[in-house]
Amino acid sequence: SPPAPQAKIACNAKDTAHTRAERNILEAVKHPFIVDLIYAFQTGGKLYLILECLSGGELFMQLEREGIFLEDTACFYLSEITLALGHLHSHGIIYRDLKPENIMLNSQGGFGGGGSGELGGSLWAVLTPPRPSGHIKLTDFGLCKESIHDGAVTHTFCGTIEYMAPEILVRSGHNRAVDWWSLGALMYDMLTGSASPAPAPSSLGTGGASLDGWGVAPEPSWPAWLFMAPRCPPQPPFTAENRKKTIDKILKGKLVLPPYLTPDARDLLKKVAPPKII
């Protein structure tokens, strides 16, 4: 048979190295918020990892469906993610690919709501604040870097652009601090949905339906998430129409925080996100 193309061989070798790294990490770290490795085996040059079943789906899908999380809900998930990252860091491991798609929910995943009530199920679902009913599990460890302890840095360019810290983008050498940058970007995702302005209260509803359709007048006391969620798809704080402009925004852009965020949320974002915050 003809020899395999060199590019394919290199790709396969790289994938194999990432899978082996993932297996090694999952064997070494055990934590309630990190996916469990059940079994690993190899056949014909392929390495298989049998992981625990996480039927709650991706956090990304939950965020996309809800549009925005209440601060209590975001705090719940972010706390668990922080514990998972801290556990990896204590073992000298940098995660380097934190994003909603790499965070799974256990079998209790999803959001609980209230009953249908006399207003109708769809409106009640909107008016009832979503609440977490599952726990996160960090997955996909192929881009992790091991043996990075205090003072050590690495220079590999890897990750998902929208969540990359500046030191990765400029290849100046990075350490575990890059995970906290990504956590700040994820926090922004959860609390804002996107940087676009909130729609007027009259436009609230699924598919553009208004509250008038239910015979309910909007109240000024209703929280901001009520007006943001149906219209704002989740986005990282720095995103643009192409790769180059996204990188420019990360390195030079200013992050605008919505006025409805509480002082605690604003303060935390300023600590883990870039200094150019307005």
Helix/strand/coil (H, E, C) string of 120-180?
Answer: CHHHHHHHCCCEECCCEEECCCCCCECCCCCCCCECCCCCCHHHCCHHHHCCCCECCHHHH
The model's pTM? 0.74
160, 195, 196, 197: which is closest to 181 by C-alpha?
Answer: 160
Name the residue range of residue 217's domain.
59-272
Residue 238 DSSP symbol: S
pLDDT at 158: 87
pLDDT tens digits in sequence order for the chain, 278 residues long: 455 444 444 456 667 777 888 898 999 999 999 999 999 888 877 788 899 998 888 998 888 888 888 888 899 999 999 999 999 999 999 999 999 999 999 876 444 443 333 333 444 444 444 566 689 999 999 888 888 877 788 888 888 888 988 899 888 988 888 999 999 889 988 888 753 333 333 333 333 334 444 344 444 444 544 554 444 555 667 777 788 888 888 888 877 788 888 888 888 888 776 556 55
Helix (H, G, I), strand (E, B) or coil at 189: helix
pLDDT at 130: 53
- How many CB atoms lie under 10 A from the CB of residue 60? 16
Tell me, what CATH number does 44's domain have?
A: 3.30.200.20
Q: Residue 1 domain-assigned? A: no
pLDDT at 136: 93
Catalytic positions, please?
A: 97
162, 16, 41, 51: which is closest to 101 by C-alpha?
Answer: 162
- 25, 67: one domain: no
Helix (H, G, I), strand (E, B) or coil at 97: coil
Contact 235, 195 (CB under 8 A): yes
pLDDT at 63: 86
- 34, 122: one domain: no
267 contact partners, CB below 8 Å, separation of at least 6? none
C-alpha to C-alpha distance for 8 and 22, rounded to whole angstroms:
21
- 108, 221: one domain: yes
- 129, 159: one domain: yes
